[in-house]
Amino acid sequence: MDASSPEAIKKQVRSYIVVFVALMGLTIVTVAVSTFHLSVAAAVIIALAVAIVKASLVAGVFMHLISEKKLIYATLALTAIFFIVLMILPTSHQLDPIVQ
């Protein structure tokens, strides 16, 4: 199927609409969760989970990364690993008894 054929365009527009609806739903979830009286840790975990899903949808569909090669996925995985390490470092420093 040609990328400029009417069927391909309809399929792309349909996926954009589905992602838009999903992003709006996740935004509503984010606002709804903020009204609950959760601990700070739980609120941050939920917010990060929703943000990861939203970022994945945007990157996959709008940036067309869903059809990329394995090198792109390896780069994204490495970025995620560095992000996790950078999030854990301040926490482990805060919990270190020698620092206090």
- In this predicted structure, the answer to whether residue 38 has a pLDDT above a threshold of 80 is yes
DSSP 8-state secondary structure symbol assigned to residue 36: S
User: pLDDT tens-digit profile of 12-29?
Assistant: 899 999 999 999 999 999
pTM given for the model: 0.66
How much is the pLDDT for 91? 76
Q: What are the residue ranges spanned by the domains of the chain?
A: 1-67, 68-100
Q: How confident is the model at residue 100 (pLDDT cuts 50, 70, 90)?
A: low
pLDDT at 26: 96
Listing DSSP states for 28-97 in one string gives HHHHHHHHS---HHHHHHHHHHHHHHHHHHIIIIIT-GGG--HHHHHHHHHHHHHHHHHHHHHHHHHH-T
pLDDT at 75: 87
